[in-house]
Structure 1
């Protein structure tokens, strides 16, 4: 009994010291967390500030014409970003149009229809595709996909649509080399499919099974369960996954540089070469000096603005879905 009393006295004496040291650890943890958050903001502000500072001479020289002009002449120091902006938005839009339905189809198949023996190999393959470096996609697109695309898609399709009023303009290839805006969009679609599919699959797996079982119990088909139960429940998260894929499509550099054609001209045909903001920066940054370097920095500012605008729109869309 005496020993137990002594142990209680010792423990009661140590307890205030432990409690007194606890606030200091909490304060240190709070300061470390605050410092981490502020560090991210400082780095982001530093990047934005350096890009604006570097691109300011180009904006001063050309004004609004830098955005609306299609001229990019290094010899005469005349620069315009419109071709690169259109190419960036076009390739990203094509990637979303192709990639989002395929990604959702893969996610739905893996969570609802896939046999157990096939689920693991397909899921592993999708995850491996996400880990492939972008330059590998670019090399495969240039040396394997582009020749096949030219021989089996561009040439036959151009022969069919030649002379048609609108379709003949959009799908006619004057020089069927396989590279161009559509090819870049397809490669980007292949690159963003693993990200959107993996996130969508994880979200669909987390939906309570009682919702699916209840829907099946009242006689719903698989399509009705997916349309009326799964997609509404996972809608916000799927939008986030799509925005993540769009962010990668907008900023992708090496893969697009290989297959977009890197031509500074606007064309009504999806088969013609073009350029994007990222590909132009990658092609010219090493040799750029003077006003050309400032123009490339200004292109970086525009790309950041486009990405920021997409993020804001995504936030508004998510908020609207939540309210609805």
Structure 2
């Protein structure tokens, strides 16, 4: 074999140079994309810090720990919206996680195969409905239903139970923290069910078949095989839903009542950070008023970062423990 033939067998030097240029360009593009995301994130945080600086100079940390909110006298406190944001998201997850995981278990273990795809598509379509539609439906349909049936039942059922009577106290307004939590639960349900269904389908069939062969019931297979194998993915889906619930605006604004106060009763009206910003930003005419709303945005930004960072740390601990 001649030297010329051996040289012609491999790629030419021009081809190798083109490959090298393409690889370098692709690597640079990915680096640029990653840096751009971090730059935008940092820019948003810096803008919020600068914009909210006047309210923190005026009130200090009392802005975070006070629930006073009176734009007329320029008294601002973020505790009411912070409490509403956290409590509605927590109640929404308490409702949505068992339902979403149950739907996923049904679709992967018990549902007849011809019905799996239609039901899954129907649930995923909930994620495509605009939040303002959820808000309108919640205000004109769900809130009257809560006022006429659900809230009176809760008040009568728990009115004489120590501890719970404060949680379900007050007149049945229809709107309020509990109603907003139900709406949020419906909105985050597709995220939980879709992600958990996808991770459940990654369980090797051999593991489940072996468990069934040993005489395990479906409940035992799910609890001892499926959930332990997919716990990281399930927790990731729940955290994604939590991030969605923390920042929801329009649907919550319609049904939560927009009251800047903290009440022990979850039937009472309240507010959230995003609802307060949406309701009042257009009418914020003073520097301190605008800074207070930007301060609420900064607090929500920090809360979301803390929640997602804690979730990421928890997932890393679980992965490390599992090897």
TM-score, normalisation: structure 2: 0.95
8 Å contact kept, 1:260–1:274: yes
Cα distance in 2 for residues equivalent to 1:32 and 1:180: 48
Question: How far is 1:202 from its partner?
Answer: 0.5
Task: Evaluate the alpha carbon distance shift between residue 210 and residue 160 of structure 1 in structure 2; reply closer, same or farther with a 3 A threshold.
Answer: closer
Is 2:174 the partner of 1:181?
Answer: no
Is 2:208 the partner of 1:231?
Answer: no
Cα distance in 2 for residues equivalent to 1:321 and 1:67: 33
Is 2:266 the partner of 1:292?
Answer: no
Cα distance in 2 for residues equivalent to 1:110 and 1:274: 36
Is 2:31 the partner of 1:34?
Answer: yes
Hey, what does 2:245 align to over in structure 1? 249
2:267 is paired with a residue whose SS is coil
Task: Evaluate the alpha carbon distance shift between residue 14 and residue 118 of structure 1 in structure 2; reply closer, same or farther with a 3 A threshold.
Answer: closer
Hey, what does 1:78 align to over in structure 2? 75
Say which of 149, 153, 156 aligns to 1:152.
149
Hey, what does 1:89 align to over in structure 2? 86
CA-atom RMSD in angstroms: 1.9
Hey, what does 1:199 align to over in structure 2? 195
Cα distance in 2 for residues equivalent to 1:316 and 1:71: 35
Cα distance in 1 for residues equivalent to 2:197 and 2:17: 47
Aligned length: 320
**For residues 267-318 of structure 1, what are the alpha-carbon distances to aligned partners after superposition, in whole Å with 9 as ceiling and x for unaligned?**
1111000000000000001111311100000001100111111112112211
Q: Which moved more, 1:22-31 or 1:274-283?
A: 22-31
Question: How far is 1:169 from its partner?
Answer: 1.5
Cα distance in 1 for residues equivalent to 2:212 and 2:52: 58
Cα distance in 2 for residues equivalent to 1:11 and 1:179: 78
Hey, what does 1:220 align to over in structure 2? 216
Cα distance in 2 for residues equivalent to 1:166 and 1:270: 13
Cα distance in 2 for residues equivalent to 1:139 and 1:52: 34
Is 2:55 the partner of 1:51?
Answer: no
Q: Which runs of 5+ in 1 are unaligned?
A: none
Hey, what does 2:313 align to over in structure 1? 316
8 Å contact kept, 1:196–1:241: yes
2:259 is paired with a residue whose SS is coil
8 Å contact kept, 1:154–1:172: no
2:261 is paired with a residue whose SS is coil
Cα distance in 1 for residues equivalent to 2:80 and 2:140: 25
Cα distance in 1 for residues equivalent to 2:176 and 2:169: 12
Q: Which moved more, 1:235-244 or 1:157-166?
A: 157-166
Q: Which moved more, 1:109-118 or 1:162-171?
A: 162-171
8 Å contact kept, 1:154–1:173: no
Q: Which runs of 5+ in 2 are unaligned?
A: none
TM-score, normalisation: structure 1: 0.94
Q: How does 1:260-299 map to 2 (within 5 A)?
A: 260-289=256-285, 290-299=287-296
